[in-house]
Structure 1
Amino acid sequence: MQSLSLTIVFALGLSVAVGNGSPLPAQAAQDNLSKVTGSIKVEAGAHMGSINTVNGSVDISADANVGNVATVNGSIKLANGVHAGQLSTVNGSIRAGRETRTGSVSTVNGQIFIDRGSDVGGNVSTVNGAIGLVGTRVEGGIEMVNGDLTVGADSHVIGGIHYDKPGFQWFSLGNKAPRVVVGPAAQVEGAMVFEREVELYVHASARIGKVTGATAKAWSGSEPPPKD
């Protein structure tokens, strides 16, 4: 994950089409769109290729179909029903609405939230930020360093969960151990490996794989135990 920012910058450098920042019409051709400064908004039902910006956010409206989406300094937001390729940012959050379909989802400094009925065709990863899933299927795994994780009700993670050990550049004194919650009827098929201290809570109705580096605490009901 430490090479994520270099990967995104390299991908942006390969883009050749330049956008003007105005909303894209729903009947737009599947062209690529790239810019250096400014946000990008895609209108509902639009069909586009890859979308890249360096300093700006990307907002994809409902039922649009786009390729890979990348920014360096900015957030990515997908409305309900969006189909997209890989989603990646360095400094910014990623939020996907209901019934979205994407490739891998990654950020370095930011939160990730994916709503009910969605499907991620790869990994979900962040270094500094929380991840929240609700009723979401993740074909890959979840990769984290710092930040809380909620595999919410009815979510299904096939590739397991991995918390990497924080490097010196991510370390700060006084940080509490991340809180990991596996919710009602959720499934984590792969191994759950923790190379750092975490607080792990697993619902009585959830199913998980082998756990290494943490001790699971069972809970029941509709809400996880309150934070300390």
Structure 2
Amino acid sequence: MNRNRILPASLAVALALAVAPAVAATGDVSKVNGSISVDDGEQAGALETVNGSINIGDRARVGSAETVNGSIKVGDTVNTGTLETVNGSIRTGRNLTAKGDLSTVNGSVFVDRGGNVGGGVETVNGSIGLVDTDLGGGIETVNGDVTVGVDSHVRGGIHYEKPRTQWVSIGERKIPRVVIGPNARVDGALTFEREVVLYVHGTARTGAITGAKAIRYDTPAPPEK
């Protein structure tokens, strides 16, 4: 996972936006302190803030959305590029079309039914959930639970990175739970550099699994423990 891309980029945004206008002529929206909202059906360019959330309404089209301290909430049938935050969650409605990655450091990522994401999904300390979603890239995390839900397709595998020293106390609190649900498919390798509990539905398909033993289940949902 390339967190060196996430964190320095966010710091650069904070410095650059300190002298940037609130709204650029191209339709970009840039703030340091404050939330950004795009109404239903509206169009905008890049949405960037440092301390604030980003809310994108139904049927909106935006270039990208990035914040440092805040969550990103996306409505139904939205067309966007990259969605990125550091301290916050990313939650999208149905029928998302995203051309880039969905990434956060401390926060969860959830994509509802009909999602089509061109890139991958990355977290460090946050869960990842997909429902009937096509993911062009892979899933990368350290400490988060992962659910590749019913009818989802992950084309770039799953990678759990071994926790670094500064994350050891967080990683030792619980063992991550990984679920590959009914009719889900994960192409490529599933590589686990740390202990996880891995459940794979009998109708699911996966690539080679390294570092974990798959537990098969045939019920609609996996065992609670």
**TM-score (norm. length: structure 2):** 0.93
Q: Which residue identity lines up with residue 9 of structure 2 in the other structure?
A: T
Q: For the residues of structure 1 that align with 2:88 and 2:153, how far apart are their CA atoms?
A: 25
- Spell out, residue by residue over 1:152-200, the C-alpha distance to the aligned partner (whole angstroms, 9 max, x if none): 0000000000000000111117512100000000000110000000000
> Which residues in structure 2 correspond to 1:53-202 (within 5 Å)?
53-102=49-98, 103-172=100-169, 174-202=172-200
Shift, 1:80, TM fit: 0.4
Percent identity of equivalent pairs: 53
Shift, 1:13, TM fit: 4.4
Aligned residues: 218
Q: Which residue identity lines up with residue 36 of structure 1 in the other structure?
A: V
Shift, 1:2, TM fit: 3.0
Q: CA RMSD in A?
A: 1.4
Are the counterparts in 1 of residues 95 and 114 from structure 2 also a CA contact under 8 Å? yes
Shift, 1:89, TM fit: 0.4
Are the counterparts in 1 of residues 134 and 154 from structure 2 also a CA contact under 8 Å? yes
Q: Does 1:31 align with 2:27?
A: yes
Q: For the residues of structure 2 that align with 1:12 and 1:184, how far apart are their CA atoms?
A: 42
Q: For the residues of structure 2 that align with 1:86 and 1:112, how far apart are their CA atoms?
A: 13
Q: For the residues of structure 1 that align with 2:158 and 2:21, how far apart are their CA atoms?
A: 37
Are the counterparts in 2 of residues 12 and 52 from structure 1 also a CA contact under 8 Å? no
Gaps of 5+ in 2: none
Equivalent position of 1:18 in the other structure: 22
Q: For the residues of structure 1 that align with 2:7 and 2:41, how far apart are their CA atoms?
A: 30
Are the counterparts in 2 of residues 8 and 88 from structure 1 also a CA contact under 8 Å? no
The SS at the match of 1:150 is strand
- Spell out, residue by residue over 1:54-79, the C-alpha distance to the aligned partner (whole angstroms, 9 max, x if none): 00000000000001110000000000
**TM-score (norm. length: structure 1):** 0.92
Shift, 1:10, TM fit: 2.2
